[in-house]
Amino acid sequence: MTQRKKLNLKELELQLPAIETNETKIILGGNDYEDGIFHLINEEGDTIVHIIDNCVDGNPGGGNNVGGSQEGNNAGADDDQGDFDHYYDYDYDDGYADGNVDYSQGPPTTSPFHTPTGLSNGMNLAQPNINMDPLIDDGVQDATIMAQVQGILSSNSVIKGLLGFYNNGYFNLTIGSETIPNANGQSTGAITGFDSTSNWTTVYIALNELGFNENGWQWDWTGLDNMGFDHSSLNTIEELVAILAHESIHAKHNADFLNALHENGMNMSDTRNWMISQGYSTEYINAWFSVDANGNVGFNPNHGDAVHTYMQNHDQDIIQHAIDEFRTDMHQLQQTVDNLRQEADFAYKESLSSNPMGESDQSDWAEYYQTLQHQLNELLYDWGAFIDKGF
Ligand SMILES: [Zn+2]
């Protein structure tokens, strides 16, 4: 057996190849791990890691936009209020009885509407170890995709949980984009990999630039992806949630692996033994490592397939939970916006009425209208990428 030495991070960095575009394309072309992509043990037996996961395969186009539930909207009482018939959703939780707002004193002095609380349960994207600059620095019209990715990451508690190593500042996460051509009739939504120039402290997620344009994410798949998750019921924005959840699982696995490597001097054999001692399952450990006839531990050359099989067996519920939470959040957001619009419309018409409701005059209603409109504009500014999209 070859005697192996341990490398410190600087020594390791000097021996590690940077991820090059052509290598990336080979892997992205459909689980082709030939051509020595994974140079995991060099001639001296030193461990070298070089990994890119291939993700979210599927056939573009032909999707059906099922979208979120729309029932329950505008189902309230239709009381005649003079200048304008207004009504409220039965499930509009504003602290008032539905359809029973008291305007006897005129309009409320403050808005009775609250931003849905579920929208702030996600990642803290302001942390310095979260870098999304590459998503906007590549010359593509990326404002909408940026808003979509930020909105999903910052609102989704499932994804936040997956990205805990990054959300807590332990490793760095870079989110960007690159062009990933279709291969073998399949499209790739995104890739996740290690940034080998970062002393093995950074994981990147890159969305496929072919999948979005100035109007945001565009691809809508049907059928199963490479972890067996069925995309048929997802609308176009939910596809992006599924992609980000899928890549976040990879990023979690990669952070597990990085953490184990750093705990063990970047030595593959020690890292494997440590993961065994920590209780990681054999299936999970085998997805990362291979052991040859001489007992040399290396990186599993079939990692891409193995990790997707692992995800198929264990992680499908996570994707579904992320989507379910997103649907609930966006449905609540849409209801709030709908109710704000109704109330603002009502206030506006009262402000023009010769006989406005309650002990008030037109200016009170005009002021109330401005308050509601301001709140509505703030919601549209922050969450406009998800409003009026069928949720
Ligand atoms: Zn994947």
d(CA 245, CA 311) in angstroms, rounded, equals 12
Position 333 pLDDT exceeds 70: yes
Q: What are phi and psi of 126, to 5 degrees?
A: -80, -10
Q: Which of 39, 191, 274 is nearest to 285 (CA)?
A: 274
Residue 51, pLDDT score: 37
d(CA 332, CA 224): 29
State residue 1's pLDDT score.
Answer: 41
Ligand 1 center to 308 CA (angstroms): 6
In the reported structure, the alpha carbon of residue 369 is separated from the centroid of ligand 1 by a whole-number distance in angstroms of 48
How far does residue 102's CA lie from ligand 1's centre (Å)? 54
Q: Residue 178, by phi and psi: left (phi above 0), alpha (psi -120 to 50) or beta?
A: beta
Quote the CA–CA distance of 67 and 45 in Å, as a whole number: 52
Task: Report the half-sphere exposure of 111 (CA within 13 A, side-chain side).
Answer: 20
Looking at residue 311, what is its pLDDT? Answer: 96
246 alpha carbon – ligand 1 mean position (Å): 6
Chain-centroid distance of CA 172 in Å reads 16
| pLDDT at position 212 | 93
CA of 311 to the centre of ligand 1 (A): 9
CA of 129 to the centre of ligand 1 (A): 23
Give the pLDDT confidence score for residue 138 in this predicted structure. Answer: 58
pLDDT at position 279 is: 96
Higher-confidence residue: 218 or 139?
218
pLDDT score of 114: 86
- Dig out the tokens for 291 from the structure: 């052991």
Burial class (CB in 10 A: 0-12, 13-18, 19+), 303: buried
The predicted model gives 11-28 an average pLDDT of 34
190 Cα: distance to centroid of ligand 1 (angstroms): 8
More confident position, 366 or 59? 366
Pairing label, strands 202-208, 172-178: parallel
Task: Examine the pLDDT at 45 and tell me if it is beyond 50.
Answer: no
DSSP-assigned letters across all residues of 124-159: -TTSTTEE-HHHHSSSS--HHHHHHHHHHHHH-HHH
Q: Residue 336: pLDDT band by 50, 70, 90 thresholds?
A: very high
Q: Which of 32-46, 98-112, 155-169, 217-231 has the lowest mean pLDDT?
A: 32-46
Per-residue pLDDT tens over the stretch 281-319: 999 999 999 999 999 999 999 999 999 999 999 999 999
Distance 41 CA to ligand 1 centre (A): 24
Cα(188) to centroid(ligand 1), Å: 9
pLDDT for position 141: 66
Instruction: State pLDDT tens for residues 168-205.
Output: 999 999 999 999 999 888 899 999 999 878 888 999 99
Q: By mean pLDDT, which of 9-23, 53-67, 329-343 is the weakest?
A: 53-67
Of 109, 98, 59, the closest CA to residue 76 belongs to: 98
Q: Which residue has the higher pLDDT, 98 or 261?
A: 261
pLDDT mean across residues, the chain: 78
The residues whose Cβ lies within 5 A of ligand 1, an ion, are 53, 55
Residue 50 has pLDDT above 70, yes or no: no
Taking the model in full, what pTM does it have? 0.75
Contacts of 354 (CB under 8 A, 6+ apart): none
96, 87 in Cβ contact below 8 A?
no
Q: How confident is the model at residue 128 (pLDDT cuts 50, 70, 90)?
A: very high
Cα of 54 from ligand 1 centre, angstroms: 5
Cα separation, 57 vs 60, whole angstroms: 9
